[in-house]
Amino acid sequence: SEKMEITNVMEYEKIAKEKLPKMVYDYYASGADDEWTLQENRNAFSRILFRPRILIDVSEIDVSTRVLGFNISMPIMIAPTAMQKMAHPDGELATARATSAAGTIMTLSSWATCSIEEVASTGPGIRFFQLAVYKDRDVVRWLVKRAEEAGFKAIALTVDTPRLGRRESNIKNRFSIPRGITLKNFEGLDLAKIYKTNNSGAGSYISGQADQSFSWKDIKWLQSITSLPVLLKGVLTAEDARSALEYGSAGIIVSNHGARQLDYVPATIMALEEVVKAVEGRLPVFLDGGVRRGTDVFKALALGAAGVFVGRPSLFSLAVDGETGVN
């Protein structure tokens, strides 16, 4: 069949919406509560305009950059998103291959449907591991150790999810993890058994294991169990950016979790400037949320970001065209 020419990543979402079961599409697309922040993540980009300067020699352009000392082909990286096998049977393996082929960094979600080790087995690549802290600290140690041994280069600690955001379409659809798909990183644990026997409760069970007492002092603990740099994912204020500095974080990801956590927080592109100012160049500041075009990337860089991450575009392109789509 003749394929429509894809000219921007938003088009992948339209095709994915037709292709995916409603429950899966809604899980990927939805935000928390009124989805005000979800709209705003995009709208805020559209309010930022350029002041273009002319007659500058642009005959040689190099968009490659360095992130935590690693050379990558472009300042665009892959954000951690859960359960990619719902999009495509190859799941995170396809994302890993496509990201390596593109010469950039993939962040693997703790809630992946391929394991840390399976992703590492796809071949060389610069990869970060997204972590949440669970009540059972042995589980955290175990995950971190596996990420280290599999050659992952950094931990992206998600700090905006002490409990899971309320995404109403998931409630309406009675979202459950489709048969045959498991949260592979937890396989072998008791909690993995629990979600196998009680599939519908899997997400809420594991998110129920999140340690809600986790606070700044515990950042020191996390740093004490790993040699990997720890990035804080989910900072939105100057105050927290200064704490991130104080507690020795290796970098900040300005993120509102793709608007899936607390609704009525600002768009990330609106929060970026105050975070950048607060760290005074002492830490790299990254951004995710609503990045869909090269001009969005440029706006983030112009406002002081060291690079951006994309979430949903990688899921929808994976759903439409697997590894080729993501690449």
Asked if 12 and 317 touch (Cβ cutoff 8 Å), the reply is: yes
Sole window of 115-123, 139-147, 213-221, 284-292 interacting with ligand FNR (rule: CB under 6 A): 284-292
Q: Which of 85, 257, 299, 312 is catalytic?
A: 257
Contact flag: residue 130 with ligand FNR (CB under 6 A)? yes
The Cα 207–Cα 146 span in angstroms is: 20
Asked if 64 and 36 touch (Cβ cutoff 8 Å), the reply is: no
Determine the length of the chain: 327
What residues contact 210, with CB distance under 8 A and at least 6 apart?
132, 133, 134, 135, 161, 162, 163
The Cα 131–Cα 147 span in angstroms is: 10
SS3 per residue for 22-34: HHHHHHHHCCCCC
Sole window of 44-52, 179-187, 276-284, 288-296 interacting with ligand FNR (rule: CB under 6 A): 288-296
Asked if 289 and 258 touch (Cβ cutoff 8 Å), the reply is: yes
Looking at beta carbons only, is 97 or 233 nearer to ligand FNR? 233
Contact flag: residue 307 with ligand FNR (CB under 6 A)? no
What residues contact 159, with CB distance under 8 A and at least 6 apart?
232, 233, 234, 235
| Subset of residues 150 to 179 that bind ligand FNR, contact rule: CB under 6 A | 158
- Interface with ligand FNR (CB under 6 A), residue from 288, 296, 321, 323: 288
* Tokens encoding 108: 């693997």
The Cα 209–Cα 186 span in angstroms is: 12
Contact flag: residue 255 with ligand FNR (CB under 6 A)? yes
Asked if 10 and 261 touch (Cβ cutoff 8 Å), the reply is: no
* Tokens encoding 96: 């890993």
Question: Whole-number minimum distance, CB 65 to ligand FNR, in Å?
Answer: 19
- Interface with ligand FNR (CB under 6 A), residue from 37, 41, 113, 226: 41
Sole window of 57-65, 169-177, 182-190, 286-294 interacting with ligand FNR (rule: CB under 6 A): 286-294
238-245 LR contacts (CB < 8 Å, sep 24+): 238/274, 238/275, 238/277, 238/278, 239/278, 241/274, 241/275, 241/278, 241/279, 241/283, 241/285, 242/278, 242/279, 243/216, 244/279, 244/283, 245/278, 245/279, 245/282, 245/283
Contact flag: residue 32 with ligand FNR (CB under 6 A)? no
Sole window of 13-21, 145-153, 167-175, 305-313 interacting with ligand FNR (rule: CB under 6 A): 305-313
Question: Whole-number minimum distance, CB 2 to ligand FNR, in Å?
Answer: 30
- Interface with ligand FNR (CB under 6 A), residue from 35, 233, 252, 271: 233
- Identify whether 88 is a catalytic site residue: no
- Interface with ligand FNR (CB under 6 A), residue from 72, 77, 79, 228: 79
Contact flag: residue 312 with ligand FNR (CB under 6 A)? yes
Sole window of 10-18, 79-87, 120-128, 276-284 interacting with ligand FNR (rule: CB under 6 A): 79-87
Contact flag: residue 289 with ligand FNR (CB under 6 A)? yes
Question: Whole-number minimum distance, CB 297 to ligand FNR, in Å?
Answer: 12
Question: Whole-number minimum distance, CB 158 to ligand FNR, in Å?
Answer: 4
- Interface with ligand FNR (CB under 6 A), residue from 98, 106, 133, 310: 310
* Tokens encoding 313: 């575009």
Catalytically active residues are 257
The residue ranges that bind ligand FNR (CB under 6 A) are 28, 41, 79-82, 109, 111, 130, 158, 233, 255, 257-258, 260, 288-291, 310-312, 315
